[in-house]
Every structure is written in C-alpha cells, then in structure tokens.
A and B are shown apart, each in its own frame.
Chain A
Amino acid sequence: MGLAEKILQGDIRAAARLMRDVDDGFTSSIDELKQLYPHTGRAYLIGITGPPGAGKSTLVDQITAAYRKLGKRVGIVAVDPTSPFTGGAILGDRIRMNRHADDEGVFIRSLATRGCLGGISRSTGDVVNVMDAMGMDVIIIETVGVGQDEVDIVRMAHTTTVVMVPGLGDDIQAIKAGILEIADVFVVNKADRDGADRTVRELSMMLEMGERAPGEWVPKVLRTEASRGVGIDELVAEYEAHRAYLHTSGDIHRFNSEKNSTILMEMLRDRLFRDIYGRIASNGTLAEILSGMSARETDPYSAVDAIVARYLTGADARVAG
C-alpha cells in the first residue's frame, strides 16, 4: 500500500514520512501528493507571523488548546531557520507546544527553511496538504521570526495574524510596506508590558489611515498575554469572524484563485528550471557556456536565448528531448 492510501486510513507514520519525502525533494512524493489532492481544501488555515521572540509559538500553543476545546483537530506547521553555513537547523518551536504532542487530535511538524527566504519553507504548502488530507480541521502555520518583508504566508493562509510586541519601533515603522500590510488580525502580545498601549494605538492609527471599500474587512488589533492564556478566546472568535467574512463576502474565491495560480506558476517554474538545468548540465552545454562567459566570449543574455530556443520552442524541443 502506498503512503497516500495509508494516510487516508489514518496512518500517522506514513503522513510523517511523506512530509519528509516532500521536504527532501523525493520525486516519489509527487505521486502520493496527486492521490491526496482530492482530499484537500477542507481545512481552515491560520498563519502566524511576526518578529523573533514575539511569542508566536506560545500563541500557537494556546490557540491549539482553544480549538481542541471546541473539538477541532489541529495541525501545526512550525518553521525555523536553516543555517546558511552548515545547512543544519535547530527547530525549537515544539518547546512551547509539546504538551499537545501525545494528544491524538494534534499533529505538529517542524520544518527548516532550507534556503527559502519568504518566511516559510518550499515544502510548507505540500506539508499543509498532507495534514489537510489527514482530516485536520484547523492548520496553524507559524513562520520563522520575520523582519519586514517575508510575506509568503499571506498566499498560504486564509487568515494571517501578525504578532507584534511593545517597544519595537515608532509609528513610522507601522506605516512601512511589508508585513504590516498582510495582517487580517493584529496581535499585540506581551500586552502586560510597558508600551503596549502605545503599540496598540500606533497600529490602530496605521489601520485608520488606510482606505477601504464599504464592507471590506478591517483588521482588529487584539491584546494577548499568550504565556497566561489571556486574550486567546477573543483571538479565536476573531478567526471565526474572519473565516465567516471570507465566505459571506465571496473573498474566499479570490483568495483561492490567487493561491492556486501562485502554486501552479511556482511549480511550473521549478519544473521547467529543473528539467532544462538537468539537460544542459549533463550534455555539456552548461560548462561550455560558463567557460565562454569567463572568457567574455559568450554573454548570459544570448546564452539564455539559445537555451530557450533549443529546449522550449516547437520541433527543437522534441528533438532535444
């Protein structure tokens, strides 16, 4: 029996192994993912992003507890950075949430970024799909600690939460482009600390400056103290409100079509690149071009034109294949 079949029968080890195969880029995982695809698209996906140390993992732990009380099965994908020097990683998000590890209604997977710069790993979408096919009702995706510009999560999750803490900067930080634009919900965590009121005020002011169409979703700024569980019920209520809004407003259709388009284009780009790279690397073309470039006899623009003409257009592509 293949992994996908086992997963659909509730086999946890098979699910964990397929996630590994996906992460390690095993081509066998593609066939399994194809079989799981019809069983995906049911889960509600929550993204949690924000700077390092803001309390994202602790929030995930509390949100998970709240959804478990409602009887929902919860999947968690927690991403931490890969060392650019050694390729190693310390994935430490579980420290805050491992009390859920032996709850059969929870599945937690830690992923390393493995060189991907958008705040999540390349494998995140497929790992989410596996959890979706496992029957998770809610899947929480925790990004790496982000700075200003790691915004891939917004295409992945139905509801994006940006977690801030007091004291990170002035109100100009709050009107810059980037992660502050992607929130459906703002959380000011560690709200018992000095400066929390100011952070809430600055975020609210930033939100008031934006123009919105009538009926458009307006993100709220919520306060939490995740370590004590304060504000979590309100946060989950806000998630449910946003989820309902996506359906009543029809925004869910726009979200899905943008997400599907992003997924397809990325997959196509990767596949074409891998395919053509594989050919030019193995038949000597790549080495030839590179030596031409180092002698300044070949320019990269013409080289790419020639590769595309040879491998991607019409009869030439068939001959080369």
Chain B
Amino acid sequence: MAERKLRVLVGKPGLDGHDRGAKVVARAFRDAGLEVIYTGLHQTPEQIVAAAIQEDVDCIGLSILSGAHNTLLPKVCQLLKEKNADDIAVFCGGVIPEDDIPGLKSAGIKEVFTPGTSTEDIVAWVKEHIHG
C-alpha cells in the first residue's frame, strides 16, 4: 500500500508583516520530509481555510504576532467546521499570552507554541499528533 505524504499549510493570518518565524518553521517541516504549502502574509481566515481544503492538508500551522489571535484563530476553526473540514488540525505559534491559551484550545486550536519553542519540538509534535 502506498504511503501518505504529510502535507501542512503554513500561513500568517491578519496584518502583521513578520514572517521570519513562519519561514523558519516551514523550513524545519521541509527538512523533516513534509510537503509545506506556504501561503505567505496577510491571509484572511477564509483564504486560509479555502487553501487548506484545496490542498488537502493534514494540518494548518498559523504564525501570529499581531495580538489578534483571539479573533482570527477561532475564526479559522469555525470556518473549518462550517465546511465539514474540522478533521484538519490547527496549531499556532507566536506571541500569545499564557492566559489566552485555554480559550484558544477550547475554540479548537490543538496546540499553541510560544516564543522559545525549538523547531524540533514543533516537528516532533506534528509527527506525533498528525496522521495522513
């Protein structure tokens, strides 16, 4: 039987213009043998969800540094549900205060990576929790 190649979408929702973190993580996924669909900056939740569905990714990794995570990230989860695509896991990284993490998780975000997380840890989390 053929094997599934893991596919992950990496993108940046909203208006902040700093994508170095997203690029570093995308590169780490590449080196771990994943196919990374990189959508780049300034994506709306609608664009992210449409892209994830068209690309049939297993998970979505969102980098957010703007402070709008409590608005944009639950919106992505909600749109996925509306499209019957909430089997696609969403995780995120960025400047996210500890206090906001429980709320994000109850909104459907599977994991939150805060500053200082190593790329190895992120890759290991994906390999453990995401299956094609």
Which of B3, B47, B51, B54 lies at the interface centre, i.e. has the most chain A CB atoms within 10 A of its CB? B54
In the bound complex, residues from chain B placing their C-beta under 8 Å from that of A72 are none
Count A-B contacts at CB 8 Å.
92
**Whole-angstrom distance from the CB of A27 to the nearest CB of chain B?**
7
Interface stretch among A80-88, A150-158, A174-182, A216-224? A80-88
Cβ of B53 and Cβ of A13 under 8 Å apart?
yes
Known: A13-B84, A13-B85. A88 touches B2 (CB 8 A): no
Cβ of A112 and Cβ of B35 under 8 Å apart?
yes
Q: Across the two chains, which residue of chain B brings its CB closest to A99?
A: B47
Cβ of B47 and Cβ of A92 under 8 Å apart?
no
User: Taking the complex as formed, is A98 at the interface, i.e. its CB lies under 8 A from any CB of chain B?
Assistant: yes
Contact of B40 among A20, A25, A94, A107 (CB under 8 A): A94
Instruction: A91 to B40: give the CA distance in the assembly, Å.
Output: 11
Cβ of B34 and Cβ of A88 under 8 Å apart?
yes
Contact of A95 among B34, B39, B46, B48 (CB under 8 A): B39
In the bound complex, residues from chain B placing their C-beta under 8 Å from that of A20 are 4, 7, 56
Contact of A24 among B5, B47, B49 (CB under 8 A): B5
User: Taking the complex as formed, is B37 at the interface, i.e. its CB lies under 8 A from any CB of chain A?
Assistant: yes
Q: Is the interface of B mostly helix, strand, loop or mixed?
A: mixed
Instruction: List residues 215-271 of chain A with CB under 8 A from any CB of chain B.
Output: none
Interface stretch among B25-33, B68-76, B94-102? B25-33
In the bound complex, residues from chain B placing their C-beta under 8 Å from that of A109 are 54-55
In the bound complex, residues from chain A placing their C-beta under 8 Å from that of B54 are 12, 16, 101, 107-109
Q: Across the two chains, which residue of chain A brings its CB closest to B79?
A: A102
Known: A16-B55, A17-B56, A27-B2. A98 touches B31 (CB 8 A): no
In the bound complex, residues from chain A placing their C-beta under 8 Å from that of B7 are 20
Range class of the B interface residue count: 35 or more
User: Taking the complex as formed, is B50 at the interface, i.e. its CB lies under 8 A from any CB of chain A?
Assistant: yes
Cβ of B37 and Cβ of A88 under 8 Å apart?
no
Cβ of B51 and Cβ of A91 under 8 Å apart?
no
In the bound complex, residues from chain B placing their C-beta under 8 Å from that of A309 are none
User: Taking the complex as formed, is B112 at the interface, i.e. its CB lies under 8 A from any CB of chain A?
Assistant: no
User: Taking the complex as formed, is A90 at the interface, i.e. its CB lies under 8 A from any CB of chain B?
Assistant: yes
User: Taking the complex as formed, is B43 at the interface, i.e. its CB lies under 8 A from any CB of chain A?
Assistant: yes
**Whole-angstrom distance from the CB of A57 to the nearest CB of chain B?**
11
User: Taking the complex as formed, is B89 at the interface, i.e. its CB lies under 8 A from any CB of chain A?
Assistant: no
In the bound complex, residues from chain B placing their C-beta under 8 Å from that of A12 are 53-54
Q: Across the two chains, which residue of chain B brings its CB closest to A76?
A: B54
Instruction: A107 to B50: give the CA distance in the assembly, Å.
Output: 9
User: Taking the complex as formed, is A89 at the interface, i.e. its CB lies under 8 A from any CB of chain B?
Assistant: yes
Cβ of A91 and Cβ of B35 under 8 Å apart?
yes
Instruction: A25 to B53: give the CA distance in the assembly, Å.
Output: 20
User: Taking the complex as formed, is A23 at the interface, i.e. its CB lies under 8 A from any CB of chain B?
Assistant: yes
Contact of B44 among A25, A102, A108 (CB under 8 A): A102
Cβ of B43 and Cβ of A89 under 8 Å apart?
no
Cβ of A91 and Cβ of B5 under 8 Å apart?
no
In the bound complex, residues from chain A placing their C-beta under 8 Å from that of B38 are 90-92, 94-95
Instruction: List residues 61-112 of chain B with CB under 8 A from any CB of chain A.
Output: 83-85
**Whole-angstrom distance from the CB of B13 to the nearest CB of chain A?**
12
Instruction: A19 to B37: give the CA distance in the assembly, Å.
Output: 15
In the bound complex, residues from chain A placing their C-beta under 8 Å from that of B40 are 92, 94-95, 98
Cβ of A90 and Cβ of B26 under 8 Å apart?
yes
Task: Identify 12 new A-B residue pairs, CB closer than 8 A, beyond the known A86-B30, A101-B54, A112-B35.
Answer: A13-B53, A16-B55, A19-B56, A20-B56, A88-B36, A90-B27, A94-B38, A98-B47, A101-B47, A102-B44, A102-B46, A108-B51
Interface residues of chain B, those whose CB is within 8 Å of chain A, are: 1-5, 7, 26-27, 29-40, 43-44, 46-51, 53-56, 83-85
A-B contact pairs, 13 of them (CB 8 A): A12-B54, A24-B2, A24-B3, A24-B5, A86-B30, A88-B31, A88-B35, A89-B30, A90-B38, A94-B38, A101-B51, A102-B46, A109-B55
